[in-house]
Amino acid sequence: MEKVRRLEDEVNAENDDNEDDPWWWLVQKGIKPSFICISVFALLVRVAVGLHPYSGANTPPKFGDYEAQRHWMEITINLPVKDWYRNSSVNDLSYWGLDYPPLTAYQSYIHGVFLKIFRPDSVALFTSRGHESYLGKLLMRWTVLSSDVLIFFPAVLFFVLVYHAIQSGKGRKSDVAWHIAMILLNPCLILIDHGHFQYNCISLGLTMAAVAAVLAQKDLPASVLYCLALNHKQMDLPLFSCFKMSAYFAPAFFSYLFGKCLRHKNPLLEVVKLGLMVIGTFAIVWWPYLHSKDAAFGVLSRLAPFERGIYEDYVANFWCTTSVLVKWKKLFTTQSLRTFSLAATVLTCLPSMAQQMLAPSTKGFLYGLLNSSFSFYLFSFQVHEKSILLPLLPLSLLALEEPRSLLSLTHFAMFSMFPLLCRDKLVLAYIALYALFVLLYFAPGGPGGRCNSSKTLDQSHKAKASIKSISSIAFHPLVIGILCLFSVILHVIYLTTHPPKKYPFLFEAVIMLLCFSQFILFTFYFNLKQWMLSKHLTSKDRQKKLI
C-alpha cells in the first residue's frame, strides 16, 4: 500500500514538475526536436538582423569588412590559387589583401562561385570594387547564413548532445533548451556575423565541434577540427616569431590533450598520433603553397600584420587600457612590444595550462578554454574588439555552470563593441538583440531566473567558501545594479552627446576602462574557479580512496 502511495506521489511530483515547467511542451520530444525549434528561431533572428546595414556601407573608398570579404571572393574566383596571397598587377594587396589563412580563402572561393551564378558583376575582377546592390547584399548575407547553418548549428547540436550525455540526470529537461538558446542566440556573435559582416561562425563552429569531440573522448577528430578552426581565422598574430600561428584556444587544447596523453599507457605514441593528425591537417589545408619555401612564407607573412601596432581603436585589453598611463607605443619599439605581449600572454596562460596538465578533466578543459582565451584577449598583440567573441564561446558552453557570469560578460562584451556597432549603424539591432538575450536568460522557470531568485546553481558543487564570497560580492544585486545603471547612462551619453573637442575619444576610453576592469576580474575569477575545481576533485578522490 505504501508503495502505491509513494508511486502516486512520484507521478504527481513528475506532473507537478511538468506543470511547473512552462517549457515542457518544448522539451517533451527530446533534445533534437527542441534543438530544431530553437534553431529555426535563431535562424529567423539572424535573417532579421541581416536586414540591417553592414560595416562600411556607402563609405568609399575603403568601405569595411563586408567589402573585404567580397573582395576576397573576387580575388579567389578570378585568380589561380598561387596568386591569392601575392601582390601583383591584378591583386593589389594594399586594398583588402587576403590576410587570413587558406581555409578562409577556400571558403571565399566557394561563396564567390555562389555569387557569380546569381550576380556575376558583384564579383567581377576590378570592376566590382565597392560593389553594392540589393541582390549583392542579400547573397552575401545568405552565404553567412548558410555557413552558420552548415557549421555552427550542427556543432551546437553535437556539443549539447555530448555535454548533456555526460551530465545525464542532472537538472531539468528544459535547462537543455535554455542552454541551446544561450549558445545559439548570443547577441555578440549574431551582431558581428550577420550585422557587421564576418564569418566567425565558421571558426567558432569548428572550435565548438572540436570541444564537443574532446568531451566525447574523440581526441583525434578533435585535433583535426581545431586545426581547421585555426586555419580559418588566426584572430591574432605574430606571437611566436617562427611559428606564426596561434589562437586563443590553443593553450587549452594543447594542455588538455597533452595532459591526457601523459596519463595514457603509452604517452609517446599518443603524442605522436596527435602530432601526425595536426601536421596532416595543416599539410592538406596548405597544400597549394607547400611546393616551395617562398610560397609558404609568402602566405605566412601575409597573415602577420607586422606593420600594425600593439592595439587599434579602443579595445578593452591590457595594453590599450594601460596606455592611458604608460605610452607603450612611444616608449618601446614594435618588436619589443611583441616580446612583451608574448611573455604576458604565456605567463597568464600558464596557471590554467598547468592545472590541465596536472589534472585534465572535461570541466577543467572548458574553464581552460575560457582562461586561455581571456589571457589572449587581454594581453596579446593586435587585438580587435570582436575578439571578445572567443572568451564568450566557452562561457556560453558553461552557461549552466556559470549563468550569472554569462549574463554579466555578455553585457560587457556587448558594451565593449558598442562604439564599433554604432559606427555600423546597428544600434537598433544592438538594442533588440540585447533585450532578446536578457529575456531568454530570464525565461520563466529557466535557470537564469531561478539562480537569481534564491538558490544558486553553484551550491550543488559545494564550491569553496572563498569562491562563494567572491561571487556573492560580484553578483550582489547592488553591485550589478550600479554597474547596469552606469552602463545604461554611458550608452545614452554615447548616443546623444558629443565629446569635448579636446578629448574626442573620451567616451570610448571610459567604456574601455569599465569593460577592462570587468574582464580582468573575470579572468581572476575563472582562474580561481579552475584551480578550485582540481582541489575539489583531488579531495574527493582522497575521500574515495579512504573509503
Partner 1 sequence: MVKAQLLWFLGIATTIKLLLIPSYHSTDFEVHRHWLAITNSLPLSQWYSDETSQWTLDYPPFFAYFERFLSVFARLVDPQIVDLHHGLNYKANSAIYFQRISVIVSDLFLFYGVYRLTSNLASSKQNLVWVLVLWSPGLMIVDHMHFQYNGFLFGWLLLSISFLAQKRDLMGGFLFAVLLCFKHLFAVAAPVYFVYLLRHYCWGGLVRGFVRLSVMGAVVVAVFAAAYGPFVYHGQIQQVIRRMFPFGRGLCHAYWAPNFWVFYIMLDKGIAFLLRKFGFNIPVPAASFTGGLVGDTSPFCILPQITPVTTFIMVLLALSPCLIKAWRDPRPLMIARLVAYAYTCGFLFGWHVHEKASLHFVIPLAVVAVESLEDAKHYFLLSVVSCYSLFPLLYEAQEYPIKVLLLLLHSILMWFCFSAQFSNNIATKVTLQADKKTSQSLVKKKKASQSELKGSSRTTAEKGGFVLGWVAKSYLFGILVVEIWGRFFHPYLLGDKFPFVPLMLMSEYCALGISYSWIWQLKQILLLSP
* C-alpha span between 73 and 147 (Å, rounded): 15
Based on the shown chain and the rule CB under 8 A, indicate whether residue 111 belongs to the binding site for partner 1. Answer: no
Q: How many residues does the chain have?
A: 547
Question: Considering the complex, what minimum distance in angstroms separates the CB of residue 433 from partner 1?
Answer: 7
Question: Considering the complex, what minimum distance in angstroms separates the CB of residue 119 from partner 1?
Answer: 11
Based on the shown chain and the rule CB under 8 A, indicate whether residue 45 belongs to the binding site for partner 1. Answer: yes
Pick the closest to residue 207 from 224, 192, 194 (CA basis).
224
Based on the shown chain and the rule CB under 8 A, indicate whether residue 286 belongs to the binding site for partner 1. Answer: no
Nearer Cβ to partner 1, position 33 or 280?
Answer: 33
Nearer Cβ to partner 1, position 8 or 294?
Answer: 8
Question: Considering the complex, what minimum distance in angstroms separates the CB of residue 22 from partner 1?
Answer: 6
* C-alpha span between 379 and 484 (Å, rounded): 26
**3-class secondary structure, 60:** coil
Interface residue with partner 1 among 88, 117, 126, 134 (CB under 8 A) is 134
Nearer Cβ to partner 1, position 145 or 513?
Answer: 145
Based on the shown chain and the rule CB under 8 A, indicate whether residue 28 belongs to the binding site for partner 1. Answer: yes
Q: Which three cell numbers stand for residue 187?
A: 547577441
With 0-12 / 13-18 / 19 or more C-beta atoms within 10 angstroms meaning exposed / middle / buried, residue 435 is: exposed
Question: Considering the complex, what minimum distance in angstroms separates the CB of residue 178 from partner 1?
Answer: 13
Nearer Cβ to partner 1, position 30 or 275?
Answer: 30
Q: Return the H-helix or E-strand segment holding 263.
A: none
Pick the closest to residue 133 from 115, 108, 109 (CA basis).
115
Q: Which listed range, 79-87, 131-139, 350-358, 378-386, lies at the site for partner 1 (CB under 8 A)?
A: 131-139
Question: Considering the complex, what minimum distance in angstroms separates the CB of residue 23 from partner 1?
Answer: 9
Interface residue with partner 1 among 350, 443, 490, 510 (CB under 8 A) is 443
* C-alpha span between 398 and 369 (Å, rounded): 11
- Cα 193 to chain centroid, rounded: 12
Restricting to residues 400-439, name those near partner 1 by CB under 8 A.
Answer: 428-429, 431-433, 435-436, 439
Question: Considering the complex, what minimum distance in angstroms separates the CB of residue 18 from partner 1?
Answer: 7
Q: Which three cell numbers stand for residue 458?
A: 553553484
- What secondary structure does DSSP assign to 117-179, as a single string? HH-GGGG-TTTTTT---HHHHHHHHHHHHHHIIIIIHHHHHHHHHHHHHHTTT-S-HHHHHHH
Nearer Cβ to partner 1, position 358 or 431?
Answer: 431
Nearer Cβ to partner 1, position 375 or 410?
Answer: 410
Based on the shown chain and the rule CB under 8 A, indicate whether residue 479 belongs to the binding site for partner 1. Answer: no
DSSP assigned state of 311: B
Based on the shown chain and the rule CB under 8 A, indicate whether residue 124 belongs to the binding site for partner 1. Answer: no
Nearer Cβ to partner 1, position 160 or 515?
Answer: 160
Question: Considering the complex, what minimum distance in angstroms separates the CB of residue 445 from partner 1?
Answer: 9
* C-alpha span between 188 and 441 (Å, rounded): 15
C-alpha dihedral sign at 205, 368, 401, 433: negative
Residues in CB range of 316: below 8 A, 6 or more apart: 385, 388, 412, 416, 511, 512, 513, 515, 516, 519
**Binding characters for partner 1, 7-26, by CB under 8 A (x = yes):** xx-xx--xx--xx--x-xxx
Question: Considering the complex, what minimum distance in angstroms separates the CB of residue 339 from partner 1?
Answer: 45
Contact between 161 and 109 (Cβ < 8 Å): no
Q: Which listed range, 45-53, 377-385, 413-421, 451-459, lies at the site for partner 1 (CB under 8 A)?
A: 45-53
Q: Which three cell numbers stand for residue 467?
A: 569562491
Q: Residue 86 is which amino acid? A: R
Residues that bind partner 1 (CB under 8 A): 3-4, 6-8, 10-11, 14-15, 18-19, 22, 24-26, 28-29, 33-34, 36-37, 40-41, 43-45, 47-49, 51-52, 134-135, 138, 142, 145, 428-429, 431-433, 435-436, 439-440, 442-444
